[in-house]
């Protein structure tokens, strides 16, 4: 297991010599002591990436594709080891971690191909003596700040497009989950990336590392996945050197079920969207809006399915819901339940911590709340926990009003059989992603990202690579 920063093709301790403990949130067992890098280490990584940039960008895209594809293959080869590491670091069930490895590998494979399609443009000139064209060129060194909830996939979702475009990269993984990023770095050596193209700086001092990303002209793009609060700070920092940022921030997804929906499918979708990673995903359903005609039946079926979920250590076979990542996460989920119940909601299942023998007390029983109103905390803020608050509505207009009544706009879900309504709702929902009878829309081929306070820019799809490209307009007088 690698535990040092990965800079200029080598695993190196932090310059300070300091380390920090990475713990399994289910048991609090120390998994490893990891290099506690800071701005100085980030500076060294940026310099390495900057040295590597000219040769990497000048390679043909078809050549850059080779190590990208190889890395994807190596990740699939080592899927079991990576999944186990991921499960230990962030607590998610092993079965989900396996899916995450495949999802992560798909970004590398897909962008290995997409990098070959970075086409330019010719423009018909009004002056017959001129030829006008547009080049799309890699912008330079890219930095990435990745979250703990998908410790593998959020690295490759940023790495794939950056490296395929011809940028070099420095990644700062979340302090809770640095080991997965270091495992990717280790495989990147075997995949054959040239020295300095991909670097990882681990450390607790995220502000000093982030400051270094923004303190000069070398880093030209910073991609961040995390909270809206931190996203705002990074956006402010980016102003000084006019660094481009991609921000994938908080969500507050409505999950809307209409009377005509296939209820079996809606419940299966609700379970997948809400309880993946114990509700700790930006795109997870945070508010269930259910039309009155099917409300009681939906709640009944959802309650039965939720009550049957197996809570436990992610590495215990059969676990479906792991721990919250830390105590603050647990307290927030508890506070949302307490606030809802105090204001008249009722838990049809769950509603309290779950006890898991031999583990920490960081587990929340999967919960369904009914009688929730838009005034309650869980209907105003992202919970990031395994809590499903349900509220009844009568009309499409009312559902839309509640769904859009938030500053967030990442993902929304819609379950209905009515084609015209699907079109009306998909157009009117103020969200970057709309899942129609589909609770898991994210895929390497499609643009992922939000509107309003949920962020800027897109990851995935051909749009994802644009973030790493600068346009250059060339005007050539030939006569």
Q: What positions carry a catalytic annotation? A: 248, 282
Return the number of the residue (238 or 281) whose C-beta is nearest ligand SIN.
Answer: 281
Number of residues that bind ligand SIN (CB under 6 A): 7
Return the number of the residue (59 or 446) whose C-beta is nearest ligand SIN.
Answer: 446
Separation of alpha carbons 15 and 260, rounded Å: 61
Beta strands across the sheet bearing 121-123: 121-123, 130-138, 469-477
CA end-to-end distance (rounded Å), the chain: 62
Stretch that binds ligand SIN, among 8-16, 80-88, 183-191, 281-289 (CB under 6 A): 281-289
Q: Among 4, 19, 106, 149, which residue sits at the site for ligand SIN (rule: CB under 6 A)?
A: 149
Q: How far is CA 456 from CA 235, 250, 451, in A?
A: 10, 11, 7
Separation of alpha carbons 292 and 88, rounded Å: 42
Asked if 150 is part of the footprint of ligand SIN (rule: CB under 6 A), the reply reads yes
Binding mask 357-396 for ligand SIN (x = CB under 6 A): ----------------------------------------
Alpha-carbon 264 to chain mean position: 28
| Length of the chain measured in residues | 479
Dmax over CA atoms of the chain, in Å, equals 82
Q: How far is the CB of 294 from ligand SIN (least distance, A)?
A: 27
Q: How far is the CB of 341 from ligand SIN (least distance, A)?
A: 27
Q: How far is the CB of 283 from ligand SIN (least distance, A)?
A: 4
Asked if 442 is part of the footprint of ligand SIN (rule: CB under 6 A), the reply reads yes
Binding mask 199-238 for ligand SIN (x = CB under 6 A): --------------------------x-------------
Asked if 282 is part of the footprint of ligand SIN (rule: CB under 6 A), the reply reads yes
Stretch that binds ligand SIN, among 5-13, 21-29, 133-141, 278-286 (CB under 6 A): 278-286
Q: Are 209 and 178 in contact (CB under 8 A)?
A: no
Phi and psi angles of residue 136, each rounded to the nearest 5 degrees, phi first: -120, 115
Asked if 275 is part of the footprint of ligand SIN (rule: CB under 6 A), the reply reads no
Q: Report helix, strand or coil for 324.
A: coil
Return the number of the residue (281 or 291) whose C-beta is nearest ligand SIN.
Answer: 281
Return the number of the residue (281 or 367) whose C-beta is nearest ligand SIN.
Answer: 281
Return the number of the residue (155 or 283) whose C-beta is nearest ligand SIN.
Answer: 283
Asked if 283 is part of the footprint of ligand SIN (rule: CB under 6 A), the reply reads yes
Q: How far is CA 38 from CA 14, 29, 207, 230, 372, in A?
A: 8, 25, 9, 18, 44
Separation of alpha carbons 259 and 336, rounded Å: 28
Q: How far is CA 327 from CA 92, 382, 442, in A?
A: 16, 16, 28
Q: How far is the CB of 440 from ligand SIN (least distance, A)?
A: 7
Q: Report helix, strand or coil for 137.
A: strand
Q: How far is the CB of 461 from ligand SIN (least distance, A)?
A: 13
Q: How far is the CB of 282 from ligand SIN (least distance, A)?
A: 3
Separation of alpha carbons 174 and 177, rounded Å: 5
Residues 6+ apart with CB under 8 A from 138: 53, 57, 165, 166, 167, 468, 469, 470
Q: How far is the CB of 284 from ligand SIN (least distance, A)?
A: 7
Asked if 249 is part of the footprint of ligand SIN (rule: CB under 6 A), the reply reads no
- Binding footprint of ligand SIN on the chain (CB under 6 A): 149-150, 225, 281-283, 442
């Amino acid at each position: 297991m690698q535990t040092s920063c990965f800079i200029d093709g080598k695993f190196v301790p932090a310059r300070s010599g300091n380390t920090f403990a990475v713990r399994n949130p289910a048991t609090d067992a120390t998994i490893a002591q990891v290099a506690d890098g800071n701005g100085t280490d980030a500076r060294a990584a940026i310099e390495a990436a900057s040295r590597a940039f000219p040769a990497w960008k000048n390679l043909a895209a078809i050549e850059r594709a080779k190590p990208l594809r190889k890395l994807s293959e190596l990740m699939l080869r080592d899927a079991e080891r990576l999944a186990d590491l991921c499960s230990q670091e962030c607590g998610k069930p092993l079965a989900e971690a396996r899916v995450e490895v495949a999802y992560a590998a798909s970004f590398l494979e897909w962008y290995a191909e997409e990098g070959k399609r970075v086409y330019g443009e010719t423009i018909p000139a009004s002056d017959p003596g001129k030829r006008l064209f547009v080049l799309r060129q890699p912008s330079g060194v890219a930095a990435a700040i990745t979250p703990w909830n998908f410790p593998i996939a959020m690295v490759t979702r940023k790495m794939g497009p950056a490296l395929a475009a011809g940028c070099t990269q420095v990644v700062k993984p979340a302090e809770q989950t640095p080991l997965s990023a270091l495992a990717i770095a280790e495989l990147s050596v075997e995949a054959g990336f040239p020295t300095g193209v991909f670097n990882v700086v681990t450390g607790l001092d995220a502000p000093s590392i982030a400051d270094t990303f923004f303190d000069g002209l070398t880093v030209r793009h910073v991609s961040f996945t995390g909270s809206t609060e931190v996203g705002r700070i990074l956006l402010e920092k980016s102003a000084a050197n006019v660094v481009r940022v991609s921000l994938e921030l908080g969500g507050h997804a409505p999950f809307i079920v209409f009377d005509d929906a296939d209820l079996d499918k809606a419940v299966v979708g609700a379970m997948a969207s809400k309880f993946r990673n114990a509700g700790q995903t930006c795109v997870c359903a945070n508010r269930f809006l259910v039309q009155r005609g099917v409300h009681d039946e939906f709640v009944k079926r959802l309650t039965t399915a939720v009550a049957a979920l197996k809570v436990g250590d992610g590495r215990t076979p059969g676990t479906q819901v792991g721990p919250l990542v830390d105590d603050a996460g647990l307290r927030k989920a508890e506070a949302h339940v307490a606030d809802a119940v105090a204001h008249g909601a009722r838990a049809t299942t769950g509603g309290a911590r779950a006890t898991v023998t031999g583990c920490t007390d960081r587990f929340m029983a999967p919960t369904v709340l009914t009688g929730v109103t838009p005034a309650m905390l869980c209907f105003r803020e992202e919970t990031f926990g395994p809590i499903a608050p349900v509220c009844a509505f009568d009309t499409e207009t009312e559902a839309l009003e509640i769904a859009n009544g938030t500053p967030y706009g990442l993902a929304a879900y819609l379950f209905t059989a009515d084609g015209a309504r699907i079109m009306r709702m998909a157009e009117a929902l103020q969200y970057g992603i709309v899942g129609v009878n589909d609770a898991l829309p994210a895929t390497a081929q499609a643009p992922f990202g939000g509107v309003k306070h949920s962020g800027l820019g897109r990851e995935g799809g051909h749009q994802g690579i644009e973030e790493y490209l600068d346009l250059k307009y060339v005007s050539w007088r030939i006569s």
